[in-house]
């Protein structure tokens, strides 16, 4: 295999799992880690931080690749997704599943290197992040399951250091849960008609565009409430700047997609949410250093 073909294969798998979307979960894992090392008797350890970030990466790779594997026949019928790697025959279903298994094993191995609690809970985490792929066959609440998967990053990072639960990272995790569920509802607006015709469950396909946007807004209000509560309990002035930026961008994405401007969903989904998570983590960590 030549260097160019090897590079192309890496690019294909990075595209399969939308590697750039780690911006949604990685910053919150880093925040959870720094919350943990600011507790008594804990300290910064690059080895532990690296393992935490690898856990986030491996879990997300497994989840995204499994989603593409599970949805390969659906994606082939949807004009919006028929050019994805598996329906386009760039990556075979078997190769995608092997990639899932590899990343699941790496995730479990990295969890074991962290501590026993993380290892014991790793199958639960995998069940949540992999289970989302089939949830939309049965329930329009699949958006919340996706949010739950990403919400594991801050509390998981905290557990990796301390080996115990605490209120502030739990509040941040709930904020992430409702934040992700809310913007996933917005993202699902693109497939409202397709999902309805093909028996797939989502809030837009069940309730329509207008009600879906209202529900997305309510989910984001819940996200804001949990984040403000966490900020009151733990953050200082510098950290509050990140919270403020996050909340402003949360509101702005609804302005972006308001009045039927569905062509701007990718701006709201990718750009604004990526900036929001990065800004929050940057200021939160700066306030704890």
Residue pLDDT, tens place only, 76-116: 999 989 999 999 999 999 999 999 999 999 999 999 999 99
Q: Quick one: pLDDT at residue 8?
A: 60
**DSSP letters of 205-268?**
HHH-HHHHHHHHHHHHHHHHHHHHHHHHHH--HHHHHHHHHHHHHHHHHHHHH-TT-GGGHHII
Mean pLDDT of 221-230: 96
Inform me whether the pLDDT recorded for 1 exceeds 90: no
Q: Quick one: pLDDT at residue 11?
A: 82
Taken in order of first residue, the domains within the chain and their CATH numbers are 17-288 (1.10.357.140)
Euclidean distance between CA atoms 68 and 266, whole angstroms:
19
Look-up: residue for tokens 């894992």? 29
Beta strands in the chain (DSSP E): none
Euclidean distance between CA atoms 189 and 203, whole angstroms:
9
Euclidean distance between CA atoms 269 and 265, whole angstroms:
6
pTM for this predicted structure: 0.92
Mean pLDDT of the chain: 90
Taking each continuous run of H as one helix and of E as one strand, the counts in the chain are 14, 0
Q: Quick one: pLDDT at residue 6?
A: 46
Euclidean distance between CA atoms 128 and 149, whole angstroms:
6
- Quote the radius of gyration of the chain (alpha carbons, Å): 19
Burial of 288 by CB count in 10 Å (0-12 exposed, 13-18 middle, 19+ buried)? middle
In angstroms, how far is the first alpha carbon of the chain from the final one? Answer: 46
CA dihedral 47, 51, 54, 56 (to 10 degrees): -130
Q: Are 12 and 88 in contact (CB under 8 A)?
A: no
Residue pLDDT, tens place only, 244-268: 999 999 998 888 877 656 666 776 6
Better pLDDT: 277 or 267: 277
CA dihedral 42, 47, 51, 54 (to 10 degrees): 130
Q: Are 165 and 35 in contact (CB under 8 A)?
A: no
For a pLDDT cut of 70, what percent of the chain falls above it?
93
């Amino acid at each position: 295999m030549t260097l160019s073909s090897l590079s192309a294969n890496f690019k294909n798998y990075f595209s399969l799992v939308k590697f750039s979307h780690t911006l949604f979960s990685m910053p919150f894992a880093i925040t959870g880690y720094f919350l943990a090392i600011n507790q008594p008797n804990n300290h910064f350890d690059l080895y532990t931080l690296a393992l935490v970030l690898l856990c986030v990466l491996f879990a997300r790779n497994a989840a995204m690749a499994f989603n593409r594997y599970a949805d390969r026949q659906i994606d082939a019928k949807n004009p919006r997704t028929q050019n994805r790697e598996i329906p386009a025959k760039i990556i075979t279903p078997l190769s995608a599943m092997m990639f899932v298994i590899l990343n699941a094993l790496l995730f479990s191995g990295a969890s074991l290197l962290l501590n026993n609690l993380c290892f014991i809970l790793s199958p639960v985490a995998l069940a949540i992040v992999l289970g989302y792929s089939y949830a939309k066959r049965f329930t329009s609440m699949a958006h919340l399951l996706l949010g739950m998967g990403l919400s594991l990053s801050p509390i998981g990072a905290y557990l990796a250091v301390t080996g115990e639960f605490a209120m502030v990272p739990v509040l941040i995790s709930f904020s992430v849960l409702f934040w992700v569920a809310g913007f996933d509802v917005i993202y699902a607006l693109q497939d409202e008609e397709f999902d309805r015709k093909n028996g797939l469950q989502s809030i837009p396909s069940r309730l329509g565009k207008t009600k879906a946007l209202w529900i997305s807004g309510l989910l984001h209000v819940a996200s804001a409430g949990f984040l403000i509560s966490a900020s009151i309990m733990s953050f200082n002035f510098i950290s509050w700047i990140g919270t403020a930026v996050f909340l402003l961008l949360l509101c702005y994405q609804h302005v972006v997609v308001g009045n039927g401007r569905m062509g701007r969903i990718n701006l709201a989904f990718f750009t604004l949410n990526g900036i929001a998570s990065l800004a929050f983590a940057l200021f939160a960590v700066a306030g704890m250093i």
